[in-house]
A and B are shown apart, each in its own frame.
Chain A
Amino acid sequence: MKEIALIKGNEAIAEAAIRTGVDAYFGYPITPQSEVLEYLQLQKPEERTGMVVLQAESELAAINMVYGAAGTGKKVMTTSSSPGISLMQEGISYIAGAELPCLIVNVVRGGPGLGTIQPSQADYFQATKGGGHGDYRLIVLAPASVQEMADFVDLAFELAFKYRNPALILSDGLIGQMMEKVELPEPKERFTTFDQSWVITGKTADRERNIITSLNLDPELQYEHNIKLQQKYERMKEDVMFESFQTDDADFLLVAYGSSARICQKVVDVVRGRGKKLGLLRPITLFPFPTEVISELSRRVKGILSVEMSTGQMVEDVRLAANGRVPVYHYGTFGGKIHSPEDVLNAIEEKFIGGF
């Protein structure tokens, strides 16, 4: 029988990590995600599963502990919030360059700078376009519920090991802090069956030494390495995930992820109740982005509204997918303010003049 719990999104991440056999967590406190480290320490995961949990002296140290530990081929993760994730960018770039699997969770708060501790979706660019230096991409998953916070931990590791690439869960302070009923993931052995040929274990006589590095001083080699990375990012398209709400007959389309998608679901219900055909496309993977399905929908709808708690970031990818076929608008509050369904309804009426 499934175990049910009423817990916060941040606690769901932590409990799922223990249950699904994560080997190590390194983190540093920052609001609104400190419950992850607190919950882990309270649960004594070293006794429950043997999982290593360590509070680092900074986010810089935390991400570099993740980098070191990920080289052992085990399941290693960290969590933080926007300013802390910014501090980790150098390390994330190294991890992407060295092609190490790991999980990073960003429980986003409003920025820029120290910003606010309230929820935001303004780290979309940072998460999906690189963030650190160099041409690289992360696998980015956007949970829209506490249930998905729990479910995406294992999913993120499956994808991270499949592609030998860091994965990032892009959540926000709303999902991190809110409590919902969760079906806890089935316990999983703390053992990975993934390819270990590249792992640093100590050099044995039967193999060449394994080196974890992102350094190629020879530009020809670095060029080749970049091509290899780009081919990998291209292959990731086979794992695009999204959810459609009433898009089949929709005249107008909302595109929203995470918290905004939850709000937009309500909006679709209200508008449908008025007899108007509104649909919602929720990207679950933000990278790879569901370009194809949005492109296809843009041939059938009259307009698209991208709803996100930012001044307009994902809307750029939606526009690229729609490729000028229909108008693509942005709506969203930002800086820690959360839009209500009424706010979105007003925006729909304003943007889609004559449509409804």
Chain B
Amino acid sequence: MKKNLSEDFSMEDSLEQIIQEKNLVYRPTRLMTGATLSYCPGCGHGTIHRLIMEVVEEMGIQAETIGVSPVGCAVLAYDFMDVDFTEAAHGRAPAVATGIKRLWPDKYVFTYQGDGDLAAIGTAETIHACNRGEQICIFFVNNGIYGMTGGQMAPTTLEGMVSSTTPYGRNVEQMGPPLKITELVAQLAGTYYVSRQSIHKAATVRKAKKAIRKAFEVQKEKKGMAFVEFVSNCNSGWKMTPNEANQWMEDHMFPFYPLGDIKVDGKLVKNVIQDL
């Protein structure tokens, strides 16, 4: 039942009266370190970090969880998420995670990677870790651009999209079309759960969290690779306000990168060939 706050509280109530356990509707996860995020206002990284940590907290697996951070904006992810971490070289996170998981088969290992890291320089490691069915989670943040180095073309940059290295828009004749790596890995036998989510609205945040939970559950049951893509914005790189960036993402990114589960319980639930 929805609460009408005005019925419970009046302007005369002191803050002490309001801030009480019985009135709690949301508690930030204890597994974010509290360090000030280094991300731009409006960026999705902070929300995705929080969702992962909420799931780790709810599953009670902090003491068994090891993260692998990428090269890119999330290079300092270990400053914000309160779990053991290994920093990986650019693109190598799935190989690094493979090494950790093979030695600690009963622990939870996840990588956190951007599109340049995962789908350009690290393509081989991504494909082969997925193909081997490594028992890890890959969290893949796709904002269609290299954020940290200043907005260059990524493998996921849309056709015609302007970036600092495609100042006249991405010319697919010359540079190839954007790479749908998530549809690609979904076709490999080693992936058990593949999903594409976004975190730009309250409702999509809730769905994204469910996908993260599902990914960790797949790892718990040792079913195979769990791969979750988050289509996200890069308002700084896109040269837009956060609101404009979210709107542009809905109008342009989502049609090319449609949201939803792609593979569930080891079975394709979408026609990925058509989506390619």
Enumerate chain B residues within 8 angstroms of A106, measured Cβ to Cβ.
none
Q: Are A209 and B102 in contact (CB under 8 A)?
A: no
Q: Min CB distance, A331 to chain B, in Å?
A: 39
**Complex formed: what's the CA distance from A189 to B202 in Å?**
53
**Complex formed: what's the CA distance from A76 to B96 in Å?**
13
In B60-105, which residues have CB < 8 Å from any A CB? 61-66, 68, 75-76, 78, 82-89, 92, 95-100, 102-104
Choose from B66, B89, B96, B97 the contact partner of A202 (Cβ within 8 Å). Answer: B66
**Complex formed: what's the CA distance from A205 to B96 in Å?**
25
**Complex formed: what's the CA distance from A324 to B61 in Å?**
63
Q: Are B78 and A213 in contact (CB under 8 A)?
A: yes
In B108-158, which residues have CB < 8 Å from any A CB? 108, 124-125, 128
Within 8 Å of chain B (Cβ to Cβ): is A292?
no
Count, chain A residues at interface, CB 8 A: 40
Q: Min CB distance, A209 to chain B, in Å?
A: 5
Q: Are B84 and A211 in contact (CB under 8 A)?
A: yes
In A191-247, which residues have CB < 8 Å from any B CB? 200-205, 209-215, 217
Task: Check A68/B86 contact, CB under 8 A, given A57-B125, A211-B78.
Answer: yes
Q: Are B96 and A68 in contact (CB under 8 A)?
A: yes
In B163-212, which residues have CB < 8 Å from any A CB? none
Q: Which B residue's beta carbon lies closest to that of A74?
A: B103
Q: Are A61 and B87 in contact (CB under 8 A)?
A: no
Enumerate chain A residues within 8 angstroms of B61, measured Cβ to Cβ.
202
Within 8 Å of chain B (Cβ to Cβ): is A72?
yes
Task: Check A201/B84 contact, CB under 8 A, given A64-B125, A91-B92, A213-B78.
Answer: yes
Q: Min CB distance, B121 to chain A, in Å?
A: 10
Task: Check A54/B104 contact, CB under 8 A, given A64-B88, A201-B84, A211-B87.
Answer: no
Q: Are B100 and A72 in contact (CB under 8 A)?
A: yes
Q: Are B87 and A52 in contact (CB under 8 A)?
A: no
Enumerate chain A residues within 8 angstroms of B62, measured Cβ to Cβ.
202-203
Enumerate chain A residues within 8 angstroms of B63, measured Cβ to Cβ.
201-205
**Complex formed: what's the CA distance from A258 to B149 in Å?**
45
Choose from A58, A98, A201 the contact partner of B124 (Cβ within 8 Å). Answer: A58
**Complex formed: what's the CA distance from A123 to B104 in Å?**
34
Q: Min CB distance, B35 to chain A, in Å?
A: 12
Q: Are B78 and A61 in contact (CB under 8 A)?
A: no
Enumerate chain A residues within 8 angstroms of B65, measured Cβ to Cβ.
202-203
Q: Are A72 and B103 in contact (CB under 8 A)?
A: yes
Q: Which A residue's beta carbon lies closest to that of B108?
A: A202
Choose from B76, B85, B88, B95 the contact partner of A200 (Cβ within 8 Å). Answer: B85
Within 8 Å of chain B (Cβ to Cβ): is A289?
no
**Complex formed: what's the CA distance from A76 to B99 in Å?**
9
Enumerate chain B residues within 8 angstroms of A61, measured Cβ to Cβ.
92, 95, 98, 124-125, 128
Within 8 Å of chain B (Cβ to Cβ): is A26?
yes
Within 8 Å of chain A (Cβ to Cβ): is B45?
no
By a beta-carbon cutoff of 8 Å, the part of chain A in contact with chain B is 23-24, 26, 52, 54, 56-58, 60-62, 64-72, 74, 76, 90-91, 94, 98, 200-205, 209-215, 217
| Further contacts, 6 of them, CB under 8 A, given A67-B89, A202-B64 | A24-B102, A65-B95, A202-B66, A203-B82, A211-B85, A215-B75
By a beta-carbon cutoff of 8 Å, the part of chain B in contact with chain A is 61-66, 68, 75-76, 78, 82-89, 92, 95-100, 102-104, 107-108, 124-125, 128
